Structure 1
Amino acid sequence: MDSQRSFLVIALAIVSFFLWQEWQKDYGPKPIAAPTSVEQTQNITPGSSTTGSNGDIRLTGDDAPSQVTAPTTPSAQLVSVATDVLNVQIDTSRGDIVGVTLPEYDLTKDSDQPYVLMRKLPGFEYTAQSGLIGADGPDDQTNNRQPYQFAQQQYQLAEGNDELVVPLVTNFNGLQIEKRFIFSRGQYDVRVEYFIENQSDVSKRVQPYRHLVQNIDNGESSSMMMPIYRGAAYGTSEERYEKYDFDDMAKKNLAINTTGGWVAMLEHYFVAAWVPDQTTSQRLYSMVSGSKGVIGTRSDVIELQPGASTVVGSTFYAGPKQQDKLAELANGLDLTVDYGFLWFISQPLFWLLTTIQSFVINWGLAIIIITIIVKGVMYPLTKIQYESMAKMRNLKPKIEELQARYKDDRQKMGPAMMELYRKEKVNPMGGCLPMLVQMPIFLALYWVFVESVELRHAPFMLWITDLSTKDPYYILPVLFGISMFAMQKLTPMQVTDPLQQKIMMWMPVAFSVFFIWFPSGLVLYWLVSNLISLAQMLYIYKGMEKKGLHTKKA
């Protein structure tokens, strides 16, 4: 098979792949301004509770959490917390996280505004809620309670300190509750702990929950060339990573029992996640409540005898999709860096890319070097491809002779062709194998460049200031088209059909147009790959000509 036919296969594969991605209809919200005040909107709790005849807490609509209107709490305020990597706002009515800003990440390239991940504004909500429900829980929908009390309204991680503790305190129906947010320097994960003491003379039963709430549709959508997933995901002891988008929520409420696990909301380079105690039983749930999607996890009921106390903890993460950090928090949480079905190729490539970058300190140079490595590893296959193509050209007269001899007998032509290939030691599919190997690598690198937050706003040189976005002047796609045209000239097509010839002639133009929307880092990779291929072709053809094999069409 000649290279032009292989290029056509690649083009059709790419088109099919991205058309399939377009059907997924994933969404990616753009950050908006940070919240400035508490908005008295609806709170969502994981079901109302009743006490059964056996004394167990039962949640009404167990797999379909309900929406309730929170009691009016005029005294509720925002507590602001600032660390070196997080700015967080906590609503004291229930201790919910209603704002998260990431000062280490710009809103846009060279912007002086930080990236706002979570916020609660009129018409839009993206928050992290948690609490204690059950017959004696203060956050049950039937209970009217006072907001948490706090010592100060603003907290700042002091220079030289590695930890900051923000305590909120309340007393409800004989339960003394302290909700602690524990922040660490340089960390995007926050430890959220409940210190609960039963100060009454009767037993108390509560059930911890935590979930994420987000508006389903904010009017922003991904494009065909940048199919960014926006929605929920979860992990269990059996399934490390599963997407559960808002359409899934609308069709069916998630209801899974597991040990440990996690739930998350994703938006391109960033993730918010709840990670409960990984050794305890959890109930993962979801729902659609009005215009909001909810995904969460609920722990088993805790019974406290009079005078008893306990500590219940979980981890909240809000920040960039840093794979190594996420992998430490929960099994499969690192897969929120979604490399798709080729993750097993993308992850090693990402590791190699970051390792190279740690030495060269430039992501563009790292991409060039990894391209050289990939092409070097694939050189034996490339050599097989071009040698196979040359042998097929040399066999063309004999093939045409067989075709003329058996033009009226197709049954005899097939075996005669196979015998000719065996005798001449030619594999007619030898030119396809390298292309079939390169295609998964191409797609795997595509997801590395699209999904890896490390490449977000990463500059290369000259006009390429962000390798994660398209070339602003389309220079790299044009250079790629020229390199592809040069490869065509070096291996002239053998097809005689005029229509096929025109398709092949316009292939470089079609690819250049496709690559206009691709991340410039990916186009840089493919351009360098083509240049290396040109050099390899010249070298291989020169060696074959010395052996008497024709490398060009006669």
Structure 2
Amino acid sequence: MESQRSFMIIALLFVSYLLWQQWQMDYGPKPVVAPVENTQTQQTEVHDDVPQSQDVPASGMTHADLVAGTSTQSKTIHVTTDALDVVINTKGGDIVSANLTDFNVDLDSDEKFSLLRATPSNLYIAQSGLIGRDGPDASKNGRPDYQTQSDSYTLTGEKLDVPLVWQTDTGLTVTKTFTFYANQHKVDVNYTITNQTGEPVHIQQYAQLKQVVEGEKSGGMFMPTYRGSAYSTDETRYEKYTFDDIEESNLKKSTKGGWVAMLQHYFVSAWIPPKTEQNNLFTKSSANHTYATIGFTGEPKTVEAGQSTSLNTTLYIGPKDQDLLHNLADNLDLTVDYGIFFWISQPLFALLKFIQGIVGNWGVAIIVITIIVKGAMYPLTKAQYVSMGKMRALQPKMAALKERYGDDRQKMSMGMMELYKKEKVNPMGGCFPMLLQMPIFLALYYVFLESVEFRHAGFFLWIKDLSVQDPYYVLPVLMGISMFLLQKLNPATIQDPMQQKIFQWMPVMMTIFFLWFPAGLVLYWLVSNLITLTQAKIIYAGMEKNGLKTK
């Protein structure tokens, strides 16, 4: 196989990989749902009156009630911090709106990014409460109507507590406290249950994320972003559970700790229950499959008469910041999904972040890391171009073989193998080095696609956002020109006329592909090509100096 074919192989492999990724998202096999573990069964036997996951209450309110608290029994509480702008409905104490005050919708817009919202066409809310025999959220009278001292709170220090209180005439008091922190997107939710009823009270914590299924679509073939749910257990570090999965079969997992989440491009919402307790993870689909829900129920608790107890969980609503997510919960940072080459992507991103901290510009950091990667891979590049140079030097002898054997392919193949052996040339020598570089390219592709740090990160002049395509297609065109120059530096030795035409048009086809790629990735590929051009000229000059003709 002539080494020049490796360019076509790389392009074909890359496009095939993207097509496979998109097919997996749309039509791939669904995970098998395991039966509920014995731990959940044992809990049910202790308190057989505790509602199971399928009985966790829905909001039971209209969209208008959710947004503005127009119900006669409920209202909304507005909470503002330097990272979050949140609306809490006192009916159940759900977070029905959350804007990220440190993230704009668009680069040139002052409108803040809305992660949670209660709009009818794009519902996405975070619900939580207490179920069980005596849980207020499992009451036949509907979810509890909490009371609050104020309808507006603003964080002025390092921490802000927003208490909501519900009590019965019989002596049961529940205080649901939301705790917000300065410059953070996490919200701690704490329940203090005080039992003055004279009888034991049985309760169980739950929390869930509810979202409309038909919403903003995932990216296309070249931007295969994921929108859907995911979870983690003590046996499964990270698993996606798509809306189609939820529609087909409800998730039922029992785990120590764990978490549940809803994902979209760059952002995530996640409920994180206590890691020391046994929690039951579940999903639900509405009757008409309009909404999908993922959540958890905690361990059943008994509060004896005259006693009180506390329950807690954490809600994260913000960007997919790997460091923050890693510190918040085990494996939550895996929601930054780098695909099968995550083991390459993660150290590359760490290096990129380190470089950016020094140079102060993500585009410059990309150029620097490209120089580092190409420098580290120089031995492979040299082996590739030495092999390609030797192959071109053999062209007169190969032409003589073709003239001698004509259309006898068997004798031609045997003659070529003898020639390769005699001249000590490996015909695959130019292909393998390029194939070894493919995982690094794909790893960087997902770094640029998934890392929120590149969102709205500028470079210079017209490149104001490295996470989206070049608005004027300058970088893709320059990349295509660099590929054309590389092609001229390495003229094809392919004999088949059809393959020759495909090879000649390869720079054009790759340019078209790269029109939709993130500008950061195109910048990497362009700089990589320019470095390769320089390295190839140096390598060929050395070979010419040693008497090996390379042209």
Residues 345 and 362 (structure 1 numbering): CA distance in 2 closer, same or farther, change over 3 Å?
same
Return the letter of the residue paired with 1:252.
S
Q: Note the alpha carbon deviations across 1:228-278, whole angstroms, 9 max, x for none.
A: 100001111111110001011111100011100000001101100000001
How much does 1:220 deviate? 3.4
* In structure 1, C-alpha distance between the alignment counterparts of 2:511 and 2:500, rounded to whole Å: 18
Give the match's secondary structure for 2:538: helix
8 A contact 2:56–2:131 mirrored in 1: no
RMSD, aligned α-carbons: 2.3
Deviates more, 1:57-66 or 1:513-522: 57-66
How much does 1:417 deviate? 5.3
Pick the aligned partner of 2:48 from 33, 50, 57.
Answer: 57
What does residue 258 of structure 1 align with? 255
What does residue 166 of structure 2 align with? 170
How much does 1:442 deviate? 1.0
* In structure 1, C-alpha distance between the alignment counterparts of 2:545 and 2:197, rounded to whole Å: 95
* In structure 1, C-alpha distance between the alignment counterparts of 2:441 and 2:409, rounded to whole Å: 38
8 A contact 1:57–1:301 mirrored in 2: no
* In structure 2, C-alpha distance between the alignment counterparts of 1:97 and 1:109, rounded to whole Å: 27
How much does 1:142 deviate? 2.3
After the TM superposition, which residues 421-500 of structure 1 pair with which residues of structure 2 at under 5 Å, given as runs?
Answer: 421-500=420-499
* In structure 2, C-alpha distance between the alignment counterparts of 1:55 and 1:24, rounded to whole Å: 42
Return the letter of the residue paired with 1:297.
F
* In structure 1, C-alpha distance between the alignment counterparts of 2:45 and 2:358, rounded to whole Å: 64
Residues 141 and 15 (structure 1 numbering): CA distance in 2 closer, same or farther, change over 3 Å?
farther
Return the letter of the residue paired with 1:239.
T
What does residue 196 of structure 1 align with? 193
Give the match's secondary structure for 1:458: coil
Return the letter of the residue paired with 1:486.
L
8 A contact 1:249–1:293 mirrored in 2: yes
8 A contact 1:129–1:213 mirrored in 2: yes
What does residue 241 of structure 1 align with? 238
* In structure 1, C-alpha distance between the alignment counterparts of 2:208 and 2:54, rounded to whole Å: 14
Residues 96 and 68 (structure 1 numbering): CA distance in 2 closer, same or farther, change over 3 Å?
closer
8 A contact 2:280–2:296 mirrored in 1: yes
What does residue 176 of structure 2 align with? 179
Return the letter of the residue paired with 2:21.
Q
Deviates more, 1:281-290 or 1:496-505: 496-505
* In structure 1, C-alpha distance between the alignment counterparts of 2:55 and 2:504, rounded to whole Å: 58
8 A contact 1:64–1:287 mirrored in 2: no
What does residue 147 of structure 1 align with? 145
Return the letter of the residue paired with 1:275.
I
How much does 1:67 deviate? 5.0
Residues 145 and 120 (structure 1 numbering): CA distance in 2 closer, same or farther, change over 3 Å?
closer
Deviates more, 1:167-176 or 1:369-378: 167-176
After the TM superposition, which residues 222-371 of structure 1 pair with which residues of structure 2 at under 5 Å, given as runs?
Answer: 222-289=219-286, 290=288, 291-371=290-370
How much does 1:66 deviate? 6.5
Structure showing the higher helix proportion among its residues: 2
How much does 1:227 deviate? 1.3
Count of paired positions: 525
Residues 256 and 63 (structure 1 numbering): CA distance in 2 closer, same or farther, change over 3 Å?
farther
Give the match's secondary structure for 1:462: coil
Give the match's secondary structure for 1:128: strand
How much does 1:146 deviate? 4.5
8 A contact 1:103–1:115 mirrored in 2: yes
Give the match's secondary structure for 2:14: helix
Structure 2, unaligned runs of 5 or more: 27-42, 66-70
* In structure 1, C-alpha distance between the alignment counterparts of 2:414 and 2:504, rounded to whole Å: 34
Residues 451 and 225 (structure 1 numbering): CA distance in 2 closer, same or farther, change over 3 Å?
same
8 A contact 2:258–2:275 mirrored in 1: yes
What does residue 90 of structure 2 align with? 92
* In structure 2, C-alpha distance between the alignment counterparts of 1:144 and 1:314, rounded to whole Å: 23
* In structure 1, C-alpha distance between the alignment counterparts of 2:314 and 2:256, rounded to whole Å: 15
Structure 1, unaligned runs of 5 or more: 27-51
* In structure 2, C-alpha distance between the alignment counterparts of 1:222 and 1:120, rounded to whole Å: 24
8 A contact 1:64–1:253 mirrored in 2: no
Deviates more, 1:59-68 or 1:358-367: 59-68
What does residue 126 of structure 2 align with? 128
Give the match's secondary structure for 2:4: helix
How many percent of aligned residue pairs carry the same amino acid? Answer: 54
What does residue 10 of structure 1 align with? 10
How much does 1:3 deviate? 4.9
What does residue 521 of structure 1 align with? 520
Residues 146 and 485 (structure 1 numbering): CA distance in 2 closer, same or farther, change over 3 Å?
closer
8 A contact 1:64–1:286 mirrored in 2: no
How much does 1:497 deviate? 2.1
How much does 1:425 deviate? 3.0
* In structure 1, C-alpha distance between the alignment counterparts of 2:158 and 2:367, rounded to whole Å: 38
* In structure 2, C-alpha distance between the alignment counterparts of 1:141 and 1:258, rounded to whole Å: 27
How much does 1:504 deviate? 1.1
Return the letter of the residue paired with 1:253.
N
How much does 1:472 deviate? 0.6
Q: Note the alpha carbon deviations across 1:362-386, whole angstroms, 9 max, x for none.
A: 1110010011011001100000001
Q: Note the alpha carbon deviations across 1:159-194, whole angstroms, 9 max, x for none.
A: xx1111111111145321111111111111111111
* In structure 1, C-alpha distance between the alignment counterparts of 2:212 and 2:139, rounded to whole Å: 21
* In structure 2, C-alpha distance between the alignment counterparts of 1:441 and 1:148, rounded to whole Å: 53
How much does 1:54 deviate? 6.4
* In structure 2, C-alpha distance between the alignment counterparts of 1:398 and 1:508, rounded to whole Å: 29
How much does 1:428 deviate? 2.1
Is it true that 1:19 corresponds to 2:55 in the alignment?
Answer: no
Return the letter of the residue paired with 1:248.
D
Residues 497 and 294 (structure 1 numbering): CA distance in 2 closer, same or farther, change over 3 Å?
same
Give the match's secondary structure for 1:301: strand
Deviates more, 1:15-24 or 1:436-445: 15-24
Residues 257 and 294 (structure 1 numbering): CA distance in 2 closer, same or farther, change over 3 Å?
same
Give the match's secondary structure for 1:201: coil
Residues 311 and 68 (structure 1 numbering): CA distance in 2 closer, same or farther, change over 3 Å?
closer
Return the letter of the residue paired with 1:86.
L
* In structure 1, C-alpha distance between the alignment counterparts of 2:283 and 2:44, rounded to whole Å: 28
Residues 68 and 467 (structure 1 numbering): CA distance in 2 closer, same or farther, change over 3 Å?
closer
* In structure 2, C-alpha distance between the alignment counterparts of 1:244 and 1:520, rounded to whole Å: 30
Return the letter of the residue paired with 2:210.
V
